Amino acid sequence: MEEIIIIGGGPLGLYASTLASLHNLKGILFEGSQSFGGQLDSLYPEKDIIDLPGIGRIRAKDYVRDLVNQTMSNPNHLDLHLSEEVKEINPIEGGYKVTTSKGDYETKFILITTGMGKFSPRKINLPNEDQFSNLLYSVNGLEKFHSKRVCVLGGGDSAVDIANMLSHVCSEVNIVHRRNDFRAQQNSVDELKNNRVRVFKPYLIKSLNGEGDTLKSITISHLEVERDETLNVDYVIVQYGNITSPSAFPLKSNKQGIEVSTTFETSLPNVYAIGNCVYYDGKVKNLTCGFGEAVIAITKIDQKLNPTKNIPIHF
């Protein structure tokens, strides 16, 4: 029987895995997809992260790489399983049976770090949307965007950050937002002007215009006056957020997430959860907050496993 199983291989799962090995815990981390990093890897690999303590700016995919290297550098690291999705958790004597897409495992403790759960990008909802190969929902590498005309759809942090990032390699970058005010950080919004990104707001996309599988232009419509604009494009990047699937685990939850105690224990004893999948009064969905939650949860698990152990505060 394992001491701990971590469900989810995003940034918090990877950091929790590092902490578990520093506490000398034995176990497994399961990630259902083919790579670690969660949304940072699958949706925003080229996005810069700018709010980590002591790190001025780092690309998401580089940060994920560093987190993997950190946990793998420990000689007693947890086993890391990619492409193995956890389907069920069921109580057994002394712990839980964890059923994955590849088999059954037994563990004394579980830590859930699944973020927003399974997710898929929110689409435009135009009838020919799936026709075009140059209509994208994430940015994986900048090479193909060199000297291209790109339009970003959306008004949140990801949309604004991608527009700013692409402005350094593209010949033209437009951003189209349906509201008058962006939902992104103000300093990032201010950068749009400095980076010569053309801003269209409040506009809604009206049509996708192309030939075969190639999108040639988009037509956008102003929401306050009768005016349409046609923008010629080489790529369109949709950043309308994600549609998530709720957790299938039998845990007490509400609309905001899994309910947890002050030590991040869920309604099932010895099952803990941290990060964007949980909710408590004052919860902030931020990486640095999640890292602190990981410290508390792993420390508590170690205390329960080893009640007489002198657990250091610093490693």
pLDDT at 247: 60
Residues 190, 167 contacting (CB under 8 angstroms): no
Residue 116 vs residue 137, higher pLDDT: 137
DSSP state at residue 22: H
Which structure tokens are listed for 122? 């929110």
* Residue where the block lists tokens 């399974």: 118
Write 267-270 long-range contacts (CB < 8 A, 24+): 268/89, 268/91, 270/95, 270/96, 270/108, 270/109, 270/110, 270/301, 270/304
pLDDT band at 195 (very low <50, low <70, confident <90, very high): very high
CATH 3.50.50.60 residue ranges for the chain: 2-119+243-305, 123-240
Which one of 35-49, 231-245, 279-293 scores highest in mean pLDDT? 279-293
Q: Name the average pLDDT for the chain.
A: 92
Burial 127-164 (b: 16+ CB within 10 A, else e): eeeeebebbbbbbeeeeebeebbbbbbbbebbbbbbbb
CA–CA gap between residue 77 and residue 186 (Å, rounded): 40
Mean pLDDT check: name the lowest of 138-152, 167-181, 221-235: 138-152
Q: How many CA atoms lie within 13 A of 50 on its CB side?
A: 9
pLDDT at 256: 84
Q: What is the mean pLDDT of residues 3-29?
A: 97
pLDDT at 50: 86
Which structure tokens are listed for 68? 């993997």
pLDDT at 150: 98
pLDDT band at 248 (very low <50, low <70, confident <90, very high): low
pLDDT tens digits, 299-310: 999 999 999 988
Q: Can you give the pTM of this predicted structure?
A: 0.73
pLDDT band at 140 (very low <50, low <70, confident <90, very high): confident
Residues linked to residue 153 through DSSP beta bridges, in sequence order:
176, 238
Name the CATH code of domain 123-240 (choices 3.30.420.40, 3.40.50.720, 3.40.50.1950, 3.50.50.60): 3.50.50.60
pLDDT tens digits, 91-103: 999 999 999 999 9
Write 230-235 long-range contacts (CB < 8 A, 24+): 231/149, 231/151, 231/174, 231/176, 231/200, 232/149, 233/134, 233/149, 233/150, 233/151, 234/134, 234/148, 234/149, 234/150, 235/134, 235/135, 235/136, 235/144, 235/145, 235/148, 235/149, 235/150, 235/151
Tell whether the model's pLDDT for residue 275 goes beyond 90. Answer: yes
Contacting residues for 60 by C-beta, under 8 A, at least 6 apart: 37, 40, 41, 44, 45, 46, 47, 48, 49
pLDDT band at 115 (very low <50, low <70, confident <90, very high): confident
pLDDT at 10: 94
CA–CA gap between residue 124 and residue 287 (Å, rounded): 28
Residues 139, 162 contacting (CB under 8 angstroms): yes
pLDDT band at 313 (very low <50, low <70, confident <90, very high): low
Q: For residue 92, how many other CB atoms are within 10 A of its CB?
A: 12
Q: pLDDT above 90 covers what percent of the chain? A: 77
Tell whether the model's pLDDT for residue 49 goes beyond 80. Answer: yes
Fold of 2-119+243-305: FAD/NAD(P)-binding domain (3.50.50)
Tell whether the model's pLDDT for residue 246 goes beyond 60. Answer: no
Q: What is the mean pLDDT of residues 148-174?
A: 95
